[in-house]
């Protein structure tokens, strides 16, 4: 009886390790994923900040209009000190409403950021002692175009109203991280986004 024939083991070529290739692919994809995630996060943050800025402008206009209404109901004409108080009420309301905003600085009427402007729109004869439109906080930046170009009058037939404008500098995460370097020597830096809102509130009657 002959011995069974045993075939020699087939020698397979050694497989290359794919770890190096996976690491390179991950390094190429990671910046793009980071940009996507930060972009989604920034979209949510700027949307929320826009809502806060808009609400602060609306509430400040309402508070200032209510104060102006109370002054006009008095027999004595409002003085410049009365108008300063209305302005301070508007500024303080914006600052209080903007408490949840990043980079908000200051408190009350001395709030530095966001920048605020206020105007009372009424007939000039009804505004003795009023310093005019455009009173703003000291932080008004040149990029805050909404804080200029005021029209102090009011359209014929319209009730008097108080207008409040708010300008806020929103800093995206890309800016907070500095220039984000991507492959192929490209980079991203979005800079600041200026959120500007303008809201009015009518003075119902005197």
What is the model's pLDDT at position 184? Answer: 45
What is the model's pLDDT at position 110? Answer: 78
Using CA atoms, how far residue 67 sits from 73, 134, 135, 137, in Å, is 10, 18, 17, 19
Q: Give the residue among 143, 144, 97, 96 at the shortest CA–CA distance from 117.
A: 144
What is the model's pLDDT at position 196? Answer: 92
Please report, in tens digits, the pLDDT of each residue of the chain (206 residues total).
555 655 555 555 545 566 677 777 777 888 788 778 877 888 888 899 999 999 999 999 999 999 999 988 887 778 889 999 999 999 999 999 998 888 888 777 778 889 899 999 988 888 888 877 877 776 566 788 888 888 888 888 889 999 999 999 888 876 655 455 554 444 555 578 889 999 999 998 77
| 3-state percent helix, strand, coil for the chain, nearest multiple of 5 | 45, 20, 35
**CA 52 – CA 97 distance, rounded (Å):** 7
pTM for this predicted structure = 0.76
Q: Give the residue among 120, 114, 109 at the shortest CA–CA distance from 146.
A: 114
Concatenate the DSSP letters of all residues of 130-183 into one string: ---S-EE-TT--TT-GGGS----S--TTPPPEEEEEEEEEE--HHHHT--EEEG
Domain residue ranges in the chain = 21-202
């Amino acid at each position: 009886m002959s011995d069974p024939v045993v075939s020699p083991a087939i020698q397979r070529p050694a497989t290359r390790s794919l770890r190096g290739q996976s690491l390179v692919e991950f390094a190429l994809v990671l910046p793009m994923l980071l940009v996507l995630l930060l972009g989604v996060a920034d979209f949510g943050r700027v949307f929320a900040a826009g809502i806060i800025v808009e609400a602060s402008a609306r509430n400040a206009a309402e508070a200032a209009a209510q104060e102006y209404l109370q002054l006009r109901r008095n027999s004595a004409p409002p003085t410049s000190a009365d108008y300063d108080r209305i302005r301070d009420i508007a500024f303080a309301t914006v600052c209080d409403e903007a408490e949840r905003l990043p980079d908000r600085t200051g408190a009350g009427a001395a709030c530095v950021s966001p920048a605020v402007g206020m105007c009372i729109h009424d007939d000039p004869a009804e505004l003795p002692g009023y310093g005019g439109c455009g009173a703003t906080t000291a932080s008004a930046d040149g990029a805050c175009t909404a804080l200029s170009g005021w029209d102090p009058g009011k359209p014929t037939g319209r009730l008097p109203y108080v207008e409040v404008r708010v300008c806020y500098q929103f800093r995206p995460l890309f800016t907070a991280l500095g220039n984000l370097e991507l492959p192929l020597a490209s980079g991203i830096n979005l800079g600041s986004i200026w959120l500007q809102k303008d809201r009015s509130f009518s003075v119902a009657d005197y």
